[in-house]
Structure 1
Amino acid sequence: MRIPVLPTLLVLAGVAIMIGLGLWQLGRLEQKQALLARYARASGMSSDVPFPQSESAAEPVYYRHARVDCREVAGVTAKAGTNAKGEAGVAHHAACRLAGGGTADIVLGWSRAPASPDWRGGEVMGVIAPGPRLVADPPLAGLGPNAVPDPSEIPNNHLAYAVQWFFFAATALVIYALAVRKRLRG
């Protein structure tokens, strides 16, 4: 008996793919670390930037401060949220039409009650968070403060994923070696 060629090639191809995925995750780790460092620097800046009108324009200004003038409130909705003390409750979001055109999702503030406040618009200051949304600081409409968007809360699991892919590759090799050994013995 000899080592089967086609199954061996298939297992080696699978192992090569898994190793490649592990290496790709290591590359993603470096990219995510750079992104998180940029977000951390941005969160420390106090100067205002214009509120972005698209996801592609938003990513470079996440965690920066902005100021908008909400001319018309299209509606207020309640979503699960966390306050500045880390307590779970309701974050109240307003869909705003801005002076000068465009729209913004404004997180007005936090409460325990799901009933939306009656907020008619006005000037809003806050922090741009992923979405994009503007988390009001100070809170509006008599609501409590939301948790301040924090880039350190963004998960960075790429090292764990890389280790997982390398483990899968090693496991596949061990299982295949045991199967071939059993076949050759038997």
Structure 2
Amino acid sequence: MLNIYLFRHPESDVSEVPHPVPRAASGDAGGLAVTTRQEATRIGRFLSMVTSNAIELYCGPEQAAMEYARLIASPLESRVRHDVRLRRRREQLADSWMHRVRVRDWFDAIVMPRRDEDITIVVVAHRDTVNHVMACFLGAVERSLTDHVFEHGSGNFHLIRSVPAKEAGTIWKIECVDSPI
């Protein structure tokens, strides 16, 4: 059975709080806040306890996504696969459409061929990208999901599982939505 965990990486830590946030000594000025790094490490430990399957971890090319994903991957002994199709959506209308196309392409290339495998796929992405991935499972328009159901914070997750169906192919079972670790 394929398990898919979707995690939203945090926004810029500086913009989320009205006062300076202590940074980890990561060697880069834009590093994640210490609490955010701890959160990502906690997620990695959680995943190592709840799954015995092989784990593949995917993220977009943004610095926050890559750093958050690396911290999650550390206790899993899993490598992070950077995929440009999971990059953050820009504000332009044309990019919004292209973003959906990119995410759908990722879904069709990575998820669909593996739907009958015993593997866990972890996605670390921006909120809009997570919403687009959820829309792929639901066959819904992403905009209908964004403002109502999937406004989760970083550290929370969605869990989707494939369930083999005798005549209908694969059924996607949404186990958790916006669930805290």
TM-score between the two structures when normalised by the length of structure 1: 0.23
TM-score between the two structures when normalised by the length of structure 2: 0.24
